[in-house]
Structure 1
Amino acid sequence: MPNGEPLRYVALGDSQTEGLGDGDDTAGLRGFADRLAEHLAAAHPGLLYANLAVRGRLAGQVRAGQLGPALELRPDVATVVAGVNDLLRPRFDAAAVAGELEAVFAALTAAGARVATATFPDVGRIAPMARPLRPRVEELNARVRAAAARHGVVVAETARAPVATDPRMWSTDRLHASPLGHARIAAALAEALALPGSDDAWRRPLPPRPPRSAARAVAAEVGWAAGFLGPWLGRRLRGTSSGDGRTAKRPHPLPLGPAPSGP
């Protein structure tokens, strides 16, 4: 890097970037951004890493609340992954959401950062009750790809990898990746950034699972609706967010500690 300074990586986004589904609020969250930082640190010893993501944030909130602080941190590499919270809202506007993300892409790339983003897999294959959202996901992905192309942003095409909808890639809430899923997303971003040692192994399918009976499948859907969909709808009706009162878990660029054990 210029003047021998360490590489700086800054992550912007919502709960996925914060790391929900990979650890917990007691032991700490890891997530794909932490894991990508480990990939970067292997190639760039002394890496400094900041994570500005906050759960529940909409794309416009990422732009309004995270872009300015990110620019102040002078990132060499940045990831921007957001928009899922928007597409879950009744008044979703794909063009407006993509416009917010494009503004973030434009500002970061203009400041000299190498920027990466990711597309979203078919949520209807992850949670059958979410099938009506499929056209929204497809439109948002198309607009994000176009915006990324206009600004030289690299795209991890997780949407086009069948393994991305394997249930084992997702936590029990089906909204956040599991530890394995976060590891695969990090590997996909590492490949998109052409990091040394990266490849397309993240696309490989997982071993076959025993089939579930119809009764178990129905019971799983009912349990998911009661345990996760109901509380989420309740927050929407109350006008609250899971991120209310929360701040970024890693607002300052810091060296990485030892990588946790596990997947």
Structure 2
Amino acid sequence: MTEGIGDPVPGGWRGWAALLAEGLGEEGQRVEFRNLAVAGALSADVHERQAAAAVRFRPDLASVVVGVNDTLRRSFDIHRLAVRLDEVCALLAGRGAVLLTACLPDPGTALGLPGPLRRPLARRQAAVNAVVHALSARYDTVHLHASDRDWTDDRSLWSVDRLHPAERGHRRLAAGFHLLLAERGLACGAPPDPEPGQPPPSRLAGALWLATEGTGWLARRSTDLLPQLLGLAAAEACHWARGTAERLDDRAEGALRQALGDLPRSPLLHGSVPRARMEG
């Protein structure tokens, strides 16, 4: 999402972070923006590669928006994700960066999957969002709520794959962060225009994308997530038939409590630094 998929511009993608960077500084003030995001990245990728590169850039603002891809992997583990994100936030905040975080919609709802397939993914994303909420309080981040129903119900916000925002969605994310940053005195420029600058893709373009890129995405997930997801869906259906679905919720909540309880008691503190650069 932060790479900008769904918001095409000549030569590649733009996305919410680039749109936000344009409105950070006053007129004539230089703002340096660097986007290290990569489509499909997991929390492990951010932890093991992107965070170190971000620290070398010495950003004043750093976005840590990740987690949905983790929910789409067979290896999903809320404990490992919490540890990784806490260490990433500690590293960047410890170097003086103000962090940007967001809770996001679950992919099952965004894709319109049936209940037995949707609920396991929703449970995973709810756990991710709970971790992000806890870290946003822990590190005093600029936190954007982007998981409400008005996000998933408004199709104009989403690209044809239903997983990445369309240009309108990217602009809404950028405007939301801009408002929150302005309230802290960290955004002095004009907010992003909420209206798209280009027409949405035609139905033909959308169909072509689904037949090429979308098919490849589904094929990759079919060898990773799909076998496990079918098992989770079968367990979901069985518990619902028996009236014991709350056991699945209790199990997920227990894993989440354990993950949050195992985080270090004292996070790193960070001081203020001049606001001029933004890391996406």
**CA distance in 1 between partners of 2:44 and 2:214 (Å):** 23
**CA distance in 2 between partners of 1:33 and 1:57 (Å):** 16
State the SS of the aligned residue for 1:142.
helix
Look up the equivalent residue of 2:216 and give its one-letter code.
P
Taking a change above 3 Å as real, the CA distance of residues 93 and 238 of structure 1, as seen in their structure-2 partners, is closer
- Report the equivalent of 1:215: none
**CA distance in 1 between partners of 2:157 and 2:17 (Å):** 16
State the SS of the aligned residue for 1:176.
coil
State the SS of the aligned residue for 2:24.
helix
- More strand by proportion, 1 or 2? 1
TM-score (norm 1): 0.69
Residue 74 (structure 1) aligned with residue 62 (structure 2): no
- Report the equivalent of 1:27: 11
- Residues 191 and 198 of structure 1 are in contact (CA less than 8 Å); yes or no, is this contact kept in structure 2? no
Count of matched residue pairs? 206
* Match among 99, 102, 111 for residue 127 of structure 1: 111
- Report the equivalent of 2:156: 168
How far apart are 1:161 and its partner, in Å?
6.0
Per-residue CA deviations over 1:5-61 (Å, capped at 9, x if unaligned) read: xxxxxxxxxxx111011006x632110110110121347820111111111111111
**CA distance in 2 between partners of 1:224 and 1:125 (Å):** 21
TM-score (norm 2): 0.65
Q: Which structure: larger Rg?
A: 2
The equivalences for 1:103-182 within 5 A come to 103-129=87-113, 131-132=118-119, 133-160=121-148, 162-182=150-170
Look up the equivalent residue of 2:25 and give its one-letter code.
A
How far apart are 1:233 and its partner, in Å?
3.3
How far apart are 1:94 and its partner, in Å?
2.1
State the SS of the aligned residue for 2:38.
coil
Taking a change above 3 Å as real, the CA distance of residues 134 and 228 of structure 1, as seen in their structure-2 partners, is farther
Residue 183 (structure 1) aligned with residue 171 (structure 2): yes
**CA distance in 1 between partners of 2:166 and 2:149 (Å):** 16
**CA distance in 2 between partners of 1:140 and 1:39 (Å):** 29
State the SS of the aligned residue for 1:98.
helix
Per-residue CA deviations over 1:113-166 (Å, capped at 9, x if unaligned) read: 111111102434421116231111111101111012111222111113624541
**CA distance in 2 between partners of 1:228 and 1:137 (Å):** 24
- Residues 125 and 165 of structure 1 are in contact (CA less than 8 Å); yes or no, is this contact kept in structure 2? no
Taking a change above 3 Å as real, the CA distance of residues 100 and 198 of structure 1, as seen in their structure-2 partners, is farther
State the SS of the aligned residue for 2:100.
strand
- Residues 104 and 146 of structure 2 are in contact (CA less than 8 Å); yes or no, is this contact kept in structure 1? yes
How far apart are 1:191 and its partner, in Å?
2.2
* Match among 65, 83, 99 for residue 67 of structure 2: 83
**Root mean square deviation, CA, Å:** 3.1
**CA distance in 1 between partners of 2:159 and 2:22 (Å):** 22
How far apart are 1:226 and its partner, in Å?
6.4
**CA distance in 1 between partners of 2:28 and 2:88 (Å):** 25
Taking a change above 3 Å as real, the CA distance of residues 255 and 198 of structure 1, as seen in their structure-2 partners, is closer
User: Unpaired segments of 5 or more residues in structure 1?
Assistant: 1-15, 203-221, 240-253, 257-263
How far apart are 1:232 and its partner, in Å?
1.9
Per-residue CA deviations over 1:174-219 (Å, capped at 9, x if unaligned) read: 11110000000111112232334789x97xxxxxxxxxxxxxxxxx
User: Unpaired segments of 5 or more residues in structure 2?
Assistant: 195-206, 225-275
